[in-house]
Structure formats: C-alpha cells, structure tokens
Amino acid sequence: MTVVRGWLEKAVNRSWYGRIGWTYAFLPLAPMVRLVIWWRRQFRPRAEFASLGAPVIVIGGLTAGGTGKTPTLIAIARYLSSRGFKVGVISRGYGRKASESGLLVEVDHSADKVGDEPLLIKRSVKTAAVIVSHSRLAAARSLCREHGVSVILSDDGLQHYALPRDFEIAVLDADRRFGNGWLLPVGPLREPINRLRSVDFILERNGSDPRRAFRYLPTKFSTVDGAAKLPVSEASKEWANKKLVAATGLGQPVQFFRLLKDLHLQFETVSVADHAELDMGVIKKDFQPDIIVVTAKDAVKLDMESCDNVWVLEIEAQLPESLYSAIEHCLE
C-alpha cells in the first residue's frame, strides 16, 4: 500500500509541477470546486479578537504538500515561549491510527497514536501544550479552558474556517510556487491565488525577498535516541569513507537532499510518500549503508532497535524579523 501511495504521489506531483499534465482530465470538476471554495469563504464565521479566550495564529499553505509549515510553527512557538507566552498548538494529527480525539500529546507518545508532526512539535517545544483533534475548534477551546494558554498556533488549517483566527500566515515554496495554477484536483491549489490578499503575512521558503523569505539552518546531527551529537561542520570529514543513504518521507524530499549536499556529503537517496514510515530493514538490505540520515519528522516514527546506524539532521527555520514584529503587533 505504501509503495502504491508513493508512486501515486509522485505521479500527481509530476502533473501539478511538471509537464505531464494528466490531472487536466479533472477539468470538468473545476467550476464546482471553485464554487464550493467561494461558498465556504463567503459564509465563514466572523469573530472578535481572541474570541476563544486566546489569540489564534494559523500557519497554513495555499498548496497541497510540504512547504515548511511545521518547522515554521516550531520556530514561532519557541520564540513566543521565550517571550513568556504559554503556547498551545492544535493539529489534526494526520496519519495517526488512534481514533481518540482531543488527545493531549506527550513526548513519550508514539507517532501512530498522535501523528508524526504533532509529536515532533511536542518534542521540539516541550513547554507547549499540543492537542490533536478532529475538530480544531474543539481543540482550541480545550487549550483555553483546561490548559490556560495565552496564544494558540494552528498547524495548517488556513482553509478550516470553523476556527476563528486572529493572524494568518501563508507558507509558500519559492521553487514550486503554485504549480500549474489550478485548484485541486487539477492542480495543487487549495484555494485561488488571490486568497493571499487576505492573509496577514506571506512566508516564502528559499525566497529572494528578505522581508518574507526563510531558510533552513542545519544545526547538528544526532542519533535517534539523542545520546550522540555531531556538528554539521564535521560530518563530511567524519563520514568521508563511509557509505551514506539519505532517506525521508517528506512531501518535498529534494529540500532534505539539498541541505545534505550543501554540507558536502555524498549519499544515495530513498524517498517514500509524505508521512509514510521508512522501512529500515529494506534500506539496510538493499544498500548495506554505514550511515543512514533521516529528518526529525522521520525519526519520531522509527523503532529505536532498528536505528543503530541512523542519524537525524536537526534544523531550524530562520524566519525574518518582520514576521516576529508583525506577530508582536497583533498580540499587543
């Protein structure tokens, strides 16, 4: 099933962002999709500032797939925590197998129970209260009522209009932009491009405008259990004569591979569908590597016993000061 999903995901992305436009077969659906989006926007709930008891900041995307929303949220959560805010985070917990809703995420939870991204957020910002729920609105109310948070961050949810919001951040990818420019399923757009006119801030991964561009800063390599660390500046020398495999289940694996190449590492690549779990047994059998490098999002799904030669590339999203200033102004 994972193999089929991975193949389908790649085929869809080739159509949305490449020249093989087989998804244009869905063009007859375009007017209906546009009408539904317009209807939902037209009749979305209106609310006063911090109507739930705490201001809500939504970090979302205009396109389907990875654009860097979760690293952005983690960076904002760390910043607000350092400023004395009690941060709450809400997420749908995509990919989790447990049916329990309104679940408070703990650092020792499994990704199967709470989802890989909520677990990564909790382990990255331990002081944050993170809740996974089918209803973002119910989760936000719970954070205010039961956990006394002073600001709420929504991981994705730009299009979930049942949730009142006080500040919207749209995260784009400078390389892929809007793909073929069509709405789902013909293209990658969740909403028309003019939706960007109504958001409070536009972030662009690897963009050229310093006022809204952000990049990933590799900070270190660590083993999955965190027992050993390796500075990124020493990795190319330390692993010079070893066989490396870079493996990931990111929506845009090329971002991960590019970071490793910038660190002057030589490696073979393995990519699976977004949110899918890496099969370490298969990777070790097929490649017989000395070192396997994964992302932090992949690491939270791995079985510790299979990770004797697995290292995690840890990164930070370097966000522009203009974003932090805009958030401060909103919260004031």
Please name the residue that has the structure tokens 């719970």. 142
Q: Tell me which of 43 and 262 has the higher pLDDT.
A: 262
One domain, residues 123 and 248: no
* pLDDT confidence of residue 2: 60
pTM of the model: 0.93
Average pLDDT over residues 225-252: 93
One domain, residues 199 and 274: no
Q: 84 — alpha (psi -120 to 50), left (phi > 0) or beta?
A: left
One domain, residues 184 and 243: no
One domain, residues 143 and 233: no
Average pLDDT over residues 145-174: 94
One domain, residues 53 and 134: yes
Question: How far is it, in rounded angstroms, from Cα 268 to Cα 266?
Answer: 7
Domain that holds residue 263: 217-316
* pLDDT confidence of residue 101: 74
* pLDDT confidence of residue 269: 96
What token pair was written down for 230? 């390796």
One domain, residues 192 and 97: yes
One domain, residues 65 and 173: yes
For residues 149 and 87, is the Cβ–Cβ distance under 8 A? Answer: yes
175 pLDDT above the threshold of 60: yes
Exposed/middle/buried for 117, CB within 10 Å: 0-12, 13-18, 19+? buried
137 pLDDT above the threshold of 80: yes
Say how many C-beta atoms besides its own lie within 10 A of residue 214's C-beta. Answer: 22
Kindly report, residue by residue over 278-308, the tens digit of the pLDDT. Answer: 999 999 999 999 999 999 999 999 977 668 8
Domain count for the chain: 2
Instruction: Taking each helix axis as running N to C, give the angle between helix 116-124 and helix 69-82, from 0 to 180 degrees, rounded to the nearest 10.
Output: 30
pLDDT band at 45 (very low <50, low <70, confident <90, very high): confident
Question: How far is it, in rounded angstroms, from Cα 181 to Cα 190?
Answer: 10
* pLDDT confidence of residue 308: 84
pLDDT band at 260 (very low <50, low <70, confident <90, very high): very high
Termini Cα distance of the chain: 49
One domain, residues 200 and 241: no
pLDDT band at 61 (very low <50, low <70, confident <90, very high): very high
One domain, residues 186 and 60: yes
Residues 6+ apart with CB under 8 A from 38: none
CATH classification at residue 91: 3.40.50
112 pLDDT above the threshold of 60: yes
34 pLDDT above the threshold of 60: yes
Distance of CA 10 to the CA centre of its chain: 18
* pLDDT confidence of residue 283: 94
* pLDDT confidence of residue 75: 98
Please tell me what DSSP assigns to residue 307. Answer: -
Residue 224 vs residues 152, 244, 270, 277, 292: alpha-carbon distances, Å: 29, 16, 18, 15, 11
* pLDDT confidence of residue 42: 85
Average pLDDT over residues 32-48: 87
Kindly report, residue by residue over 68-97, the tens digit of the pLDDT. Answer: 999 999 999 999 999 999 999 999 888 787
One domain, residues 119 and 205: yes
Q: pLDDT averaged over the chain? A: 91
* pLDDT confidence of residue 3: 61
Average pLDDT over residues 89-112: 86
One domain, residues 126 and 140: yes
One domain, residues 45 and 177: yes
1 pLDDT above the threshold of 60: no
pLDDT band at 21 (very low <50, low <70, confident <90, very high): confident
Kindly report, residue by residue over 193-233, the tens digit of the pLDDT. Answer: 999 999 999 999 999 999 999 999 999 999 998 889 999 99
